[in-house]
A and B are shown apart, each in its own frame.
Chain A
């Protein structure tokens, strides 16, 4: 099966590979997996006080399409708002990377990772607000 040029580009020059400090309250971490193929994807976002995503990093262990999907996701996440990020759909990734039907699950994994990272960040914000209320 031939990969599209865009998949190959992300695969050969993945953007934003790495990790952010997962204990940082402004960092949200999502780790998701596709157990049938043994793929795992970690996606992290750093959010500023205005709710804007100022940084995004990923690490993916999987096929070229899974790497490209998560690499593309971090590009889209940087500079956008958390609310807009939550609207990203796997179909947009499929379209951008011209993924064939057998690789659609890779884009689903990336969407799940974005949502998990946002949920983690939101849970941290919630916990912080609650503890501040307790102190006050």
Chain B
């Protein structure tokens, strides 16, 4: 828990700042609306966390989200009966892409940066090829409920987020979580102590692909169908994870902090909007905060000597 403190502190400060600028934020409705907006990125960041902590990158999630939303719209085409089968298909597709990423990375020994970059190109190209440039079809109302609707006062996306966070925490406390950290910290040592490094890393990619599928279901409902729905999400997810103090290169950091990083990023967007910096200099402020926050983080947790990760 102590490791999570810096990012939770930053998040608390941002939330207080939002509340001062906009008192509606303190009411349950306002706060839940914020959580609902943050849910897709938080889930995506949780998936990215597994990959990063295992010492790899997943750059393909943004285009995977776009692909999933476009596929959903095309297959459902407004037919409510198709909702559940398509949701299952989306999850399977996300897991499959993760499996391919993971197997190529581990079995063919291609750097994951390149594997997932290639997957990014393949997915975005294939989706546009299939749709001829502009997405067709429509999502059903039932499908959109996941991202838009709510159970009583609580939005579905918040419930899904809570379930995802619980699952992530359970996973990281299980044997899988411990071996994942070990594999990310020092793959050779982990392998020699009996960890099936290849399998654990591949599982991390599958989880990332699954998280992209869930994120796509939420975003499709929330934002609708567009060919740009996932644009830049991979960088946002990686940013969120790193903001949470997780070390690129693997082996360090907590899942809760990574998810808190996603909330921090969303809180930052909200705050910039409230103070009217949106649009124009929003990105500049975001970039400055990103570099400075990570710089501060590295002061608090001295990074391992870089050779430690290259010898591995």
Q: Do A and B come from one complex?
A: no
- Interface of A toward B, CB cutoff 8 Å: none
- Interface of B toward A, CB cutoff 8 Å: none
